[in-house]
């Protein structure tokens, strides 16, 4: 949900679907008007109408096939080209037939084809299509070359450029989201390696010494009880030092800064498209209470990102009480997972409490209270 890439993809595709629907409606209206005014026969109107319907029925499928990658041309693309060619071939010869509008179907097919071809190949095909259609129109209508060629060339350039721009926008959103996920995954992997390295450095030497001293104490237990006792005392002290070092190593996982956590949560939620409002009055809280609230903020934000489609989230902290309220709650909220159970155990052990449940207004409220 962090960048809502699938939502962006749907918006872009549905927008293009809507534009295709509008153009289809324009063409149907144009054909009906020509038929009513006796500019084309009923047979020609029927054939052209069938070709237009076939072309625009294939339009959404052709878009979706080429939006995530650049596939090879398919039979569907060839069928759409045939429908467009027949439509242009049956162009009315009447001077009031609206030639420019009629020819847009050729430019539209060219724009979809450009999604399937490298840029150079698409440009070459564009020259062929625009030149061929313009020459055909000049031949059957007697219009001057510039009157036909210039509008057709501009139309093909604008529509094709717009189609490529929309797909490029989707690819940019997708790559940015994938890059963000890869960066987060890399950060987690690096932290695991750091932690493993620190534990190895901290415990490797200590455990080796403890092992040697234990073996020595076992040997001395019979011969020299006093020296064996001294060795055991050193082992106990060394084990205590090792435990303290391990606790220090994991301290970074246990101690969270409330202000940093709030800032990070705001950035994450707003990056996911949710407006985040924070009202925190926690200056009088103890460090332990602030740490507990930081854990609650982190867990609450994780649940908002994972289990909702929130567009707004309000975080309030007052007197040791945290409330996180967000919208976008699914109709059937999921059962609380390990994160909330762990948070509840952490707060309960410290003398606090936590509740997480939907509200009558259709929102979700996380409420955590800690000893001030």
Order of strands, sheet of 364-369, starting from the edge strand that comes earlier in the sequence: 275-281, 312-318, 321-326, 364-369, 353-358
Domain boundaries, the chain: 5-177, 183-253, 258-369
Q: Would you state the pLDDT for residue 205?
A: 52
Is the domain defined by 258-369 classed in CATH 3.90.650.10? no
- Helix 5-36 and helix 42-67: axis angle, to 10°? 170
**Is 183 within 8 Å of 33 (Cβ atoms)?**
no
* Alpha carbon separation from 16 to 61, 78, 154, 205, 212 (Å, rounded): 11, 20, 20, 65, 74
Quote the tokens at residue 347: 């707060």
Other beta carbons less than 10 A from residue 88's beta carbon: 22
Prediction pTM value: 0.48
* Among 123, 120, 128, 121, residue whose Cα is nearest residue 73: 121
Torsional sign, CA 116, 121, 126, 132: negative
3-state secondary structure (DSSP) of residue 118 = coil
The count of C-alpha atoms lying within 13 angstroms of the C-alpha of 335, restricted to the half-sphere facing its C-beta, is 1
Q: Do domains 183-253 and 258-369 have the same CATH topology?
A: no
183-253, CATH topology level: 1.20.5
- How do residues 341-372 score in pLDDT, each as one tens digit? 878 888 888 899 999 989 988 899 999 999 87
DSSP at 325: E
Is the pLDDT confidence value at 231 over 80? no
Torsional sign, CA 68, 73, 78, 79: negative
**Is 365 within 8 Å of 325 (Cβ atoms)?**
yes
**Is 119 within 8 Å of 92 (Cβ atoms)?**
no
Quote the tokens at residue 261: 């956590």
Question: In this structure, what is the dihedral angle of CA atoms 202, 203, 208, 209, given to the nearest 10 degrees?
Answer: 60
- How do residues 13-65 score in pLDDT, each as one tens digit? 888 888 888 888 888 888 888 888 888 889 988 998 999 899 999 988 988 88
- How do residues 113-170 score in pLDDT, each as one tens digit? 998 999 899 899 989 988 888 888 888 777 788 887 888 888 888 888 888 888 888 7
- How do residues 255-314 score in pLDDT, each as one tens digit? 568 888 898 888 878 877 789 999 998 888 888 899 889 889 988 888 888 888 889 999
**Is 298 within 8 Å of 275 (Cβ atoms)?**
no
Residue 234 buriedness (CB in 10 A; 0-12 / 13-18 / 19+): middle
Distance CA 24, CA 30 (A): 10
């Amino acid at each position: 949900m962090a960048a809502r890439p699938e939502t962006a993809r749907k918006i872009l595709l549905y927008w293009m679907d809507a534009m295709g629907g509008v153009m289809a409606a324009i063409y149907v209206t144009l054909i009906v008007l020509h038929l009513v005014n006796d500019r084309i026969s009923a047979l020609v109107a029927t054939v052209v109408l069938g070709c237009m319907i076939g072309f625009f029925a294939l339009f959404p499928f052709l878009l979706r096939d080429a939006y995530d990658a650049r596939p090879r041309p398919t039979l569907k693309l060839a069928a759409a080209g045939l429908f467009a060619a027949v439509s242009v071939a049956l162009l009315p010869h009447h001077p009031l037939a609206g030639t420019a509008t009629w020819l847009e179907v050729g430019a539209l097919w060219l724009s979809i084809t450009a999604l399937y071809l490298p840029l150079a190949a698409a440009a070459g095909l564009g020259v062929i299509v625009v030149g061929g259609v313009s020459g055909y129109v000049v031949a059957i209508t007697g219009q001057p070359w510039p009157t036909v060629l210039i509008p057709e060339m501009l139309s093909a350039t604008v529509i094709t450029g717009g189609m490529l721009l929309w797909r490029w926008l989707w690819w940019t959103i997708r790559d940015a989201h994938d890059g963000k996920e890869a960066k987060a995954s890399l950060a987690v992997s690096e932290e695991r390696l750091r932690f493993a390295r620190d534990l190895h450095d901290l415990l490797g030497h200590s455990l080796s010494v403890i092992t040697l001293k234990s073996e020595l104490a076992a040997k001395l237990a019979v011969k020299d009880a006093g020296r064996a006792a001294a060795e055991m005392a050193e082992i106990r002290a060394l084990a205590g030092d090792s435990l303290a070092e391990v606790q220090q190593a994991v301290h970074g996982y246990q101690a969270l800064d409330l202000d940093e956590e709030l800032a990070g949560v705001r950035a994450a939620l707003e990056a996911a498209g949710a407006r985040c409002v924070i009202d925190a009055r926690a200056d009088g809280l103890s460090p332990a209470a602030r740490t507990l609230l930081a854990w609650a903020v982190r867990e609450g934000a994780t649940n908002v990102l994972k289990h909702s489609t929130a567009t707004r989230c309000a975080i309030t902290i007052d007197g040791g009480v945290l409330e996180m309220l967000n919208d976008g709650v699914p109709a059937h909220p999921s059962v609380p997972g390990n994160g909330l159970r762990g948070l509840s155990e952490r707060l309960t052990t410290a003398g606090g409490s936590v509740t997480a449940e939907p509200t009558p207004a259709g929102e979700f409220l996380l409420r955590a209270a800690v000893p001030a």
